[in-house]
């Protein structure tokens, strides 16, 4: 009987430690977050921290960095008043000698370049989507400075190469609310009524569709960032948010970092 109990305890421990792709590993509001919650997330591959941003009110945006291990944040800083709202964000877009935060606004020009050190609006990327469709997802490929964008109302996921937009893929049903790029893959977050993360190789090959397990109907999800390597067993994680509960969620995905150079997460630098 004791042996059976021990086996059961071991089984439950393993089950709890290793979930399945699409499982929510952690979920919480961030300390000091804006009144309307977090709307955008972006990995900083230099530090291993995640940039997070959200609207306090219309025309008042705040941002900081989050430690993906502890989900603790630094000091929230105000962003340029040129933004009226913020959806997903990207980080690492290089122009001149500066790595910029890219923040998707509600009004044209939609994707604005923000100097993370000062909050200064330093320029914008040209629009691709119309005002009615919104520019929702944003992420930067650090290898070539391409910016990947998605839209709530347009099925096309595109990348901007510095001079023009190019269609990466088309995902039927649209409602594509976030993008994240890392470990050689592009991740696209879809919201109601789908609640999935669509996974592609950076070359454009479709890999899989990961359902967000047990996601409540009506809880719109938005913003997406790469998270931790080996967050659950050998599987990586992504971070996303929703604007109903105003919490940030860590979601397990697949094993995409095997064979690649991995970030040493124990050496994360101090945030703001």
Strand pairing category for 165-170 and 111-114: unpaired
**218 — pLDDT class (breaks 50, 70, 90):** confident
CA–CA distance from 71 to each of 89, 133, 250 (Å)?
A: 18, 32, 9
So what's the pLDDT on residue 80? 75
Inform me whether the pLDDT recorded for 6 exceeds 70: no
Helix (H, G, I), strand (E, B) or coil at 76: coil
Inform me whether the pLDDT recorded for 266 exceeds 50: no
Inform me whether the pLDDT recorded for 99 exceeds 60: yes
So what's the pLDDT on residue 263? 41
Inform me whether the pLDDT recorded for 1 exceeds 60: no
Please name the residues in contact with 168: beta carbons below 8 A apart, sequence gap of 6 or more.
148, 156, 157, 158, 159, 186, 200, 204
Does domain 22-267 bear CATH number 3.40.50.720? no
The whole-model pTM stands at 0.89
Q: CB 177: neighbour CB atoms within 10 A? A: 28
Please state, for a pLDDT cut of 90, what percent of the chain lies above it: 78
Q: Cα torsion for 37, 42, 45, 48, to the nearest 10°?
A: 20
**9 — pLDDT class (breaks 50, 70, 90):** very low
**18 — pLDDT class (breaks 50, 70, 90):** low
Find out whether 238 and 231 touch, Cβ atoms under 8 Å. no
Please tell me the distance from the alpha carbon of residue 11 to that of residue 142, in angstroms, as a whole number. Answer: 41
CA–CA distance from 249 to each of 22, 104, 127, 224 (Å)?
A: 11, 20, 29, 10
For residue 266, report the phi and psi dihedrals to the nearest 5 degrees.
Answer: -75, -5
Please tell me the distance from the alpha carbon of residue 89 to that of residue 30, in angstroms, as a whole number. Answer: 17
Inform me whether the pLDDT recorded for 10 exceeds 60: no
Q: What is the pLDDT of residues 156-182, one digit of tens each?
A: 999 999 999 999 999 988 899 999 999
Q: What is the pLDDT of residues 111-125, one digit of tens each?
A: 999 999 999 999 999
Please state, for a pLDDT cut of 70, what percent of the chain lies above it: 88
Find out whether 58 and 78 touch, Cβ atoms under 8 Å. no
């Amino acid at each position: 009987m004791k042996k059976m109990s021990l086996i059961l305890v071991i089984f439950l421990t393993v089950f709890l430690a290793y979930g399945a792709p699409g499982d929510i590993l952690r979920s919480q509001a961030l300390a000091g977050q804006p009144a309307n919650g977090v709307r955008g997330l972006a990995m900083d591959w230099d530090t291993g921290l995640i940039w997070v941003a959200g609207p306090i009110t219309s025309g008042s945006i705040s941002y900081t960095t989050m430690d993906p291990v502890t989900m603790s944040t630094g000091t929230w800083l105000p962003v340029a008043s040129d933004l009226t709202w913020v959806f997903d964000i990207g980080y690492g877009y290089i122009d001149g000698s500066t790595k910029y935060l890219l923040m998707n606004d509600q009004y044209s020009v939609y994707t604005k370049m923000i100097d993370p050190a000062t909050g200064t609006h330093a320029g914008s990327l040209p629009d691709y989507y119309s005002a009615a469709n919104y520019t929702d997802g944003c992420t930067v490929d650090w290898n070539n400075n391409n910016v990947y964008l998605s839209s709530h109302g347009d099925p096309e996921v595109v990348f901007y190469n510095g001079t023009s937009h190019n269609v990466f893929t088309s995902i039927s049903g649209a409602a594509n609310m976030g993008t994240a790029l890392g470990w050689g893959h592009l991740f696209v977050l879809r919201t109601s009524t789908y609640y999935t993360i669509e996974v592609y190789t950076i070359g454009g090959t479709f890999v899989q569709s990961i359902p967000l397990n047990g996601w409540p109907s009506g809880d719109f999800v938005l913003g997406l960032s790469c998270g931790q390597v080996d967050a659950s067993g050998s599987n990586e994680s992504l971070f996303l948010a929703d604007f109903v509960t105003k919490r940030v969620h860590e979601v397990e995905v697949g094993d995409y970092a095997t064979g690649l150079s991995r970030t040493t997460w124990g050496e994360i630098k101090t945030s703001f």
